[in-house]
Amino acid sequence: MQNNFKQPFDLTGHCALITGGSQGVGAAIALALAKAGSDVVLVGLQDDETAQQTLTACRNHGVNSDLILADLSGPPDSYLPGLLENVNQIAPKFDLLVNNVGTYIDKPYFEMDYETYQKTMHLNVTSGYFLTQAISRRWVEDDIRGRILFTGSINGILSEPDHTAYDTSKGAVAAMVRSLCVTLAPMGIRVNAMAPGLVRTPLTKVLDENQQLDAWMKLHTPNGQVPNADVCGGAAVFLLSDAAVHVQGQTLLVDGGMSVWQQPDPPCDWSA
C-alpha cells in the first residue's frame, strides 16, 4: 500500500512569493522554504550576483526558483499592477506570501525628514498591507486557502534611540498581523509574523566592523549569540506549514531570548 502521509513541515506542492527575497533574512527564508520543498519566486531590486546565488541555492534543492524585479518603496499603484502580472505569468497558483521587504534608514529624531520616514513606512508597512490585499482578493476568488508571513522585528516591542521610524514601522507590522488575521481567517487565509532579534545581514554589517559593539550585543542576548540570518528559516517554515494550522495572528520572536531579559549582569570589569 502506498504511504501518502505528508510530514507536517513538508511544503512540497506549494509556491511562495517572497518580497526582499534575494538577500539577508529574505534569502534565508527562501532557502529554508526550498529545502522544505516549496517553489519560490523572489522579488528584489536588482538581478545581481547575490540574487543569482540565492536562486541557485534554492534550485539546488530541486525546486523552481524565479526572480521578479520591483521597487516597493513607492505608492502601491506604481508597482502592484506590473508585479501581479509578472507573478501571474510565472506562478499563477502560488499560495504562500512572505512580506519580508524592509529597510532601516533612520536618522536621529530631530533630524528625521518626511521623505525618509515615508520610505521606511512604505517599505516596512504599506507594501505588505496592499500586496496582501491584492493577493487575498485573488485567493478568495480562486478558493485558495493561502498562508501569509510578515517579517517583523524585535524592534516592534523593544525600542532604540534613533530608531524612531523603524520601531514605529515594526510595531505597526505586529498590529497589522493581528488585524489581518481576524479579517482573513474566516476566509481560510492564515496570517502570522516572524520577528528576528539581531542577526547578521547587509543591514547589520556594522557588527563585523565593530567588535566592541558585537560583544555588547552578545552580552544582551541570553544565548550569547548574534547568528546569521539562516536562524530565521526554520521559524518561517513552521509558520507556513501544516504544523501551524491553528497558529494565527501571532508574532514569533526569533531573538535568542533578548526580548525576555530585563538586563544582563555587567561583566566583572564594568564600571559606571
Q: Where in the sequence numbering do the catalytic residues fall?
A: 166
Read out DSSP for 47-92?
--HHHHHHHHHHHTTT--EEEEE---SS-GGGTHHHHHHHHHHH-T
104, 155 contact by CB (below 8 A): no
155 DSSP 8-state letter: G
The three cell numbers of residue 83 are 508585479
Q: Which amino acid is at 6?
A: K
Radius of gyration of the chain (CA): 19
Cα separation, 255 vs 225, in Å, equals 9
First to last CA, the chain: 71
Cα distance between residue 113 and residue 119, in whole Å:
10
Residues 6+ apart with CB under 8 A from 14: 33, 37, 38, 39, 94, 95, 96, 240
